[in-house]
Amino acid sequence: MATFLQVAFDGLLNGLLYALVAAGLSLIWGVMDVINFAHGEFLMIAMYFSYWLGFIWKIDPIISSVAGGAFVFIVGALTYRLVIRRTIGKSAMSALLATFGLSMLIKNICLNRFSPNFRLLQDTLLGGKTFNLAGIIIPVPQLVIGLVALALLFVVYRLVKKTRLGWAIQATAMDKEAAELMGINTERIYLLVFGLGGACVGIAGGLLPSYLAVHPEVGALFSLIAFVCVAMGGFGSIPGALLASLLIGLVEAFAGFYIAPVFKYVAVFGLYLVVVMVRPRGLFGW
Amino acid sequence: MKKSLFSKGLLLVLTAFLVVGAISGAAVAEEKVIKIGTLFPLTGPVALAGQRCRAAVETAAEVINNAHPELQVPLAAQEGVLDGYKFVLVHADHQGKPDVAKSEAERLFDQEKVWGIIGCYNSAATKPASFVAELKQRVFMCGCSSSGALTERDFKYFFRMAPTDKTESLEFVEFIEWANEHKGSDIKTVGLIYENTEFGKHAAEEGRMAAEAGGFKVVADVAFNPGATNLNSEVQTLKAANPDAVFGACLGGDYTLWVRTMKQMDWLPKVALNYCTGYQDPIIVGQLGDDANYFMGGTGYAPEFAELMPAVAAVEEIYKTKTDPSVPFDSDSIQEAVALLVLAQAIEKSGSLDPTVVAETLHANEWESPLSMGGKVAFAPGGQNIKAMSMLTQLQGGEYKRIYPVDLADTEPVIPMVPWKDR
């Protein structure tokens, strides 16, 4: 029983991490109908940002995650200004290809500047810390990331659902032209949404160096799983992304332990296919 | 009159072109170069290892092309081979992907017109790329790809310097038998953890066969996808089976994640033995700190082997200038340097640039190789270096200590590994 609970808990914590990464993607996809292929690279640059702050100035990832969020907010906003804005109103493929190009650019800049070397922070506040709860080993870094994910998703959800800004975001997502007729500055909304999406993944990336090595390829699988979470949860739905991420975390953990570790991603993508076939708009999609 | 002047001018210009063309053509014809393609993963998950392998080949080319009388390496004292031929390297990147390796090998031969190829680090990439070379009857020198299957194809133009997974697996089993007998380690069961690639699967297969032949029971067989976001299920599976010994084949960032996840789950086997993997990477000590200690692995070279391989140090100084951050040779990269140094000797000895003649010469002779642990290189049919050696090391206090074979050991092994809570 203890093993079952351990596996379940590990799965939930991984699911919360995926939710944090997926939240920003969901927001961007839901509001702007743009698939940001560079989302994994946003995570990667936040990890580098946090790593270098920790390595040079000994700033712990808990603190640098906030700075990482702010940094990637700016990167996201700049991405909108310099790249995405030029693709609005054109075929969906042009935004997709533009962000794909951006992801290659970011990855290769990091490869060039930081080398493919994997880098791990030593002696962080959370690194390597665990505690035992009724026979279940709780890893502190993953627990903190899980709690941050819950808090951040709650804030983003409240922002979208309960504030004037959120209503403007929803209106822009539903009908851009009508929103503009109502006096909403959709240009600013898009900028904010891209920035917010970046900030969410930036905070996740800022925390990760507590236990995960940083290298230029680190964002690839996270980004793929985030796409699956968003599509499975329903485009633009934060609760959907959370539920899908938790499901994916659990399926990954149980399939990995009870079937075979090499089978875990087969199970994850298999689940995704089933959900998309049965309910193409996702769990919470409209 | 004007027409005549124009005609004369045109004639002069054309003549000048012809003369310049003839001179430059003669210069190209006299250019004595041997183009060698290097094919490594310069981007992708194991790009760091690939870039170090490339730097090692560049080091060997520099040693051969320029006079280095201070180095105790064959041909280092002279400039080039065959009375002035110099090696020119053409670098290519296979990104760790077998299909890219195949197409890049074709491009290197067909478009870049390379004489031969050195590569490819990943066994999965070496397999198709060397197949291209064999079809074209061109020499393929393989430094460190360790899949035994590569030299079981009866290829005529393929040569591998490093020991295979089979050699290392037998060495692992021999070591745990020794530990049981002399240290009372009581190791009865083995677990396998490996990346789900050509290299990992082959290493695990050899590990399983060697363990079972030695009378050990394999209680866990854990494959994982390289670049995973977590290794929780993998380590949980190992922990549940609780093998006494683990044979690991994890590269780069996956190795650090594996070690950290074991720490997080507060579990260790009595011994953890690693194939040519992340364990051998000299930067892991800095990355993992004390967590890196007490793991073991097959090692073809580490700076701590200096007294056994005195010629390496001076060559290593050149290598360090080609790596960023500057690092010493590791077990993998040094084999790529050996590949070019041996090839250069074979070209010199054969007195020919005919690939078939050079390949026959490579097979027919034993080569001096001060950068190899055995000091010699000789190839069996199929291309395996039958003089390849490695020894077992254990990381203790951040240093690779030689622990087995006993006659070459400088330190007693720590068995069982020190538990996480006692570090």
pLDDT for residue A286: 58
Structural domain boundaries in chain A: 2-278
Long-range contacts of B401-410 (CB under 8 A, 24+ apart): B401/B304, B402/B304, B402/B305, B403/B175, B403/B296, B404/B171, B404/B174, B404/B175, B404/B178, B406/B178, B408/B308, B410/B304
pLDDT at B19: 52
Of residues A120, A122, A217, nearest to B45 (C-beta) = A217
Cα(B223)–Cα(B177) distance, integer angstroms: 25
What is the reported pLDDT for B79? 95
Helix or strand or coil: residue B30? helix
Residue B16 domain flag: no
> Does B52 share its domain with B151?
yes
- Write out the two tokens for A127: 């690194």
Alpha helices in B184-273 (DSSP H): 198-213, 232-241, 252-264
Domain count for chain B: 2
Query: Which residues of chain B neighbour A220 with C-beta distances below 8 Å?
Result: 227
pLDDT, position B15: 57
Kindly list the residues from chain A whose CB atom is less than 8 angstroms away from the CB atom of residue B326.
Answer: none
Q: Which of B48, B233, B234 sits opposite A117 (nearest CB)?
A: B48
Answer yes or no: do B236 and A7 touch at CB < 8 A: yes
Average pLDDT for A146-165:
93
Evaluate whether residue B92 is within a structural domain.
yes
pLDDT band at residue A73 using 50, 70 and 90 as cut-offs:
very high
C-alpha triplet A190, A23, A35: angle, nearest 5° = 55
In a domain, B1, yes or no: no
| Contact residues of A toward B, CB < 8 A | 3, 6-7, 10, 14, 17, 108, 111, 115-120, 122-123, 128, 130, 137, 139, 211-213, 215-218, 220-222, 225, 252-253, 255-257, 260-262, 264-265
Q: Confidence band (pLDDT; 50, 70, 90) for A237?
A: confident
Residue B310: strand, helix, or coil: coil
Q: Which run of H or of E encompasses B3?
A: helix B2-30
- B337 and B189 in a common domain: no
* Integer Cα distance of B75 and A273 in angstroms: 61
How far apart, in whole angstroms, are the C-alpha atoms of residue B42 and residue B288? 24
**Closest approach of B48 to chain A, Cα-based (Å):** 5
State which residues of chain B have pLDDT below 50: 1-3, 5-6, 10, 20-29
Fold of A2-278: ABC transporter involved in vitamin B12 uptake, BtuC (1.10.3470)
In this structure, how many other beta carbons lie within 10 angstroms of the beta carbon of residue A120? 27
Residues B216 and B316 both lie in one domain: no
Q: Which of A212, A221, A257 shows the shortest C-beta gap to B237?
A: A257
Q: What confidence score (pLDDT) does residue B324 get?
A: 80
Mutate to test the interface with A, among B95, B225, B232 (most CBs of A within 10 A): B232
Nearest residue on chain A to B239, judged by CA atoms?
A: A3
Q: A145 vs A87, A88, B369, CA distance in Å?
A: 34, 34, 52
Distance from C-alpha of B96 to C-alpha of B123, rounded to nearest angstrom:
9
Nearest CB among A137, A225, A257 relative to B264 is that of A137
Q: Among B252, B295, B297, B294, which residue's Cα sits nearest to residue B274?
A: B297
- Partner-chain contact B253 A118, CB within 8 Å: yes
* Closest in B234, B253, B289 to A256, CB measured: B234
**Domain CATH for B158:** 3.40.50.2300
Which pLDDT belongs to residue B305?
85
| Residues B320, B341 within the same domain | yes
- B42 to chain A, closest Cα gap in Å: 8
- Biggest alpha carbon distance in chain A? 59
Residue B28: predicted pLDDT: 44
Residue B3 resides in a domain: no
- Would B385 be classed as within a structural domain? no
CA angle at A206 for the pair A205 and A209, rounded to the nearest 5°: 85
The torsion angle over the Cα atoms of residues B373, B375, B379 and B384, rounded to 10 degrees, is 0
The residue segments making up the domain with residue B132 are 32-163+307-378
Q: ipTM surpassing 0.90, yes or no?
A: no
Does a structural domain hold residue B186? yes
Q: State whether A257 and B196 contact (CB < 8 Å).
A: no
Contact A211 B51 (CB under 8 A): no
Closest CA to B169 of B100, B234, B113, B216: B216
Q: What confidence tens digit (pLDDT) does each residue in B249-296 have?
A: 998 788 999 999 999 999 999 999 998 777 888 778 888 889 999 999
- Whether residue B77 is contained in a domain is answered as yes
Length of chain A: 286
Size of interface A-B (CB pairs under 8 A): 106
Three-state DSSP at A103 gives helix
Q: Between B45, B237, B256, which is nearest A261 by CB? A: B237
Beta strands in B231-337, from DSSP E residues, in sequence order: 245-249, 271-274, 296-299
Closest listed residue to residue A31, CA positions, set A65, A69, A80: A80
Specify whether B65 is located in the same domain as B152: yes
The closest alpha carbon to B157, from B128, B122, B133, belongs to: B133
Question: Quick one: B118 and B264 in the same domain?
Answer: no
**pLDDT tens-digit profile of B374-405?**
899 999 999 999 999 888 999 999 999 999 99
